[in-house]
Structures are given as structure tokens and as C-alpha cells.
Amino acid sequence: MALGAKMVPFGGWEMPLAYPWGTVAEHRACRENAVAFDVSHLGTVRVQGPEAFDHLQHSLTNDLRRIAPGRAQYTHLLDETGSVADDIIVWWVDDERFDVMPNASNTSRVLGAIGGEDVTSERAIVAVQGPKARALLATVSPEAAVVHRFAVARFDWEGAPCLVAGTGYTGEEGVECAVPAAVAEDFWAAVVSAGVTPAGLGARDTLRLEAGLPLHGHELGPGITPLQAGLGWVVGWDKGDFIGRAALEEEKAEGPRRRLRGLVAEGRQPLRDGADVQVGGQTVGRLTSGNFSPMRERGIGLALIDADAQLLDGDAVTVVQRTRELPANLVRPPLWPPRVEE
């Protein structure tokens, strides 16, 4: 708040929505330079011990055998219907320690499903993202700045033990640093003093939308499976049983009844989630997320489109938004940068 951020409640936390320079400026700073997000609202559930690996293998969709200690992995927790109860990043810290990172409002749900210890209150997480993120972070912590994409490593900052992972939610290069709560304010100040622009939830959402990344409660949630969301690659079909596998196998055999697609409007009007997507006056889907793209300077969105509609990338659709009909085209995510075929 010392920087003048507009604060809003989010997942039980008070979070910065935007700073005085505004969401569009923050968004463009991430695409062109570097920004810092306070993402401490993300949970950390620590699962440890000799049985931790086997327990997580059975609880989550992805196959931990694809990685090793010192690596991170994107995965899903399903319910028995195959719906995505949460999407998660797992930091495999060492042989018998996993830091599981749920979404803000889902920490208690994930804790109930996988066990472990909720250590969220013990640390803060600062995400430094953008093409110049590593160069600027190197003036604060050279060790954190050189961690490769989806690698996990320990580093010390002013005598405090910290963790860093080469992960993010923007479609840009960068890392996420987990630092003890006691030094979090000083670490944040050091990052900002290095020339990294503070950014809030507004820019984080427009960045992830341009990158075509799902948000739980929108592209993932009750009634939405990994296959519908186009995320079948997070399912380890060769690893044995996991929660929700039977329902997901049935859907795989039959084919998903709908699939997540990207949309780019012809004009600047922001698209909004919940709007119907129509072809020839017939509703073929519904927007799960929508906004204005600061980089494309058009409305963009993600939508679940009926498979029976047999629409292809590039096909024209109409987004019905209250009393307005907005022409748009289907595209294959990510929505930024534009694909050559567009």
C-alpha cells in the first residue's frame, strides 16, 4: 500500500489490483522489461517423508517420474468425476520433500486431499517476470536469477534460507522466489529498487489470458476436465491409478464434448466471461475468460466450444455480450504473440 496500490479482497487475502501507473502499463512492462508480483496468496502444502512420492503419484494427474529432485511440475488434482479440483505446481525440493502450490482459495481442499502441512504463513512468494527479469534480479540475488525454467533451487538472501523456481504465469521468462515472511518486505523492496516494476492482479490476469493459461474457476473447475481444457499432457496415463482416472479414461474413449479455444475480436471492446459464442444464431459455446489485450489492442477471450460444432481455427464466430454482437475469430492459444497462420 505504500506504493499506492488499489487493494482488493482475493481468496481470503488483501491483494494489489493495480498500482497508480495502471494495469496496461504494468502489462506492457512485463512483455518488454520486468515486473514483480506478490503472489503470496498461493498456498504451500509441504509433503515430506519416505511415502511422499507414492502418495502424490496417486493423488495428482501428472507423472513425477518425468522429473526429479530440483525440478517443478505442473499437475492437476481431480475429483472422482474427472473435474479439475485444482491446478497445481509441485516443487520437488529434495528426495523426500515436495512443496505443493495450490491456488489461493483451494489450499484447504488440497490439504484435505493430499495431507501434509500448510506452511503458507511462513513465507512470501515474489514472482519476477519479463524478458529482463533475470538480468535485474541478478543484482539482488545472482543465485536466484540463473535458475532454469522449471528448475527448483535453494538460495540465501541476507542470511535467510529461500527457494526459487523457474516458473510463472505470464508467458514470459522469469522465476518465483519463496522467501521467509520475516525478510519478505526487504526482499520486495530490493527487487523494486533494482528497477523491476510492481504489478497487480489486473495485469497478472491479462498476461495469463494473452498467454492462453487457464485460471481455476474459469477454464478449470467443476464439470471441466483436463481433456476439455486442452491439457491432456498433464495426465500420466502410464503411471497407474490416480484420483479421477476412471472418469477421465471414459471421456478419453468417447472424446470430450467440448474443448477450450481462443478468440480474438475484430474490435477493441473487451470480451467478458459468461458471454455466448454463436455461429449463424446458434450458441456453440461460452466464454470462460475475456478482457482487452494490451498487446493486440483487441478484445480477447477463452471459451469452451462444443465439439459437435466442428469449428476450425480461423473460423468466424459472434460473441453475444448483453445487447451487443461482437465479431471474432477462433484461434489456437496462446493469443500473444500472434501465430503465423493468423
Q: Which residues of 229-242 are buried (b: 16+ CB within 10 A; e: fewer)?
A: bbbeebbbeebeeb
Closest CA to 30 of 175, 131, 137: 131
Share of the chain above pLDDT 70, in %: 99
Decide if 242 contacts 78 (C-beta within 8 A). Answer: yes
| Mean pLDDT of the 256-275 span | 98
The label of the residue with cell 493469443 reads: 335
Asked if 17 and 8 count as a contact pair (C-beta separation under 8 A), the reply is yes
Is pLDDT at 129 greater than 70 in this prediction? yes
Give the residue extent of every domain in the chain: 6-43+120-210, 257-342
Q: Which fold has domain 257-342?
A: Elongation Factor Tu (Ef-tu); domain 3 (2.40.30)
Tell me whether the CATH fold assigned to 6-43+120-210 matches the one assigned to 257-342: no
CATH number of 6-43+120-210: 3.30.1360.120
Q: What is the pTM of this model?
A: 0.96
Helix ranges restricted to H, the chain: 23-32, 52-59, 107-114, 133-137, 142-145, 181-193, 201-210, 245-254
For residue 85, pLDDT over 90 is answered with: yes
- Cis check for the bond before 294: say yes or no (omega within 30 of 0): no
The predicted model gives 37-64 an average pLDDT of 97
pLDDT in tens, 185-238: 999 999 999 999 999 999 999 999 999 999 999 999 999 999 999 999 999 999
pLDDT score recorded for residue 1: 58
Can you tell me the mean pLDDT for 3-23?
Answer: 91
Mean model confidence pLDDT for the chain: 96
pLDDT at residue 145 tops 80: yes
Give the list of residues 6+ apart from residue 147 with CB closer than 8 angstroms, or none.
Answer: 153, 164, 165, 166, 175
What is the structure's pLDDT at 13? Answer: 87
Q: What string of H, E and C letters represents the secondary structure of 50-111?
A: CCHHHHHHHHCCCCHHHCCCCEEEEEEEECCCCCEEEEEEEEEEECCEEEEECCHHHHHHHH
Q: Is there a contact between 150 and 173 (Cβ–Cβ < 8 Å)?
A: no
- Rounded Cα–Cα distance for residues 98 and 148 (Å): 18
pLDDT, tens only, 282-329: 999 999 999 999 999 999 999 999 999 999 999 999 999 988 999 999
Percent of the chain's residues with pLDDT above 90? 95
* Confidence at 155, pLDDT banded by 50, 70, 90: very high
Does residue 340 carry a pLDDT above 80? no
Least confident range from 13-22, 25-34, 223-232, 247-256: namely 13-22
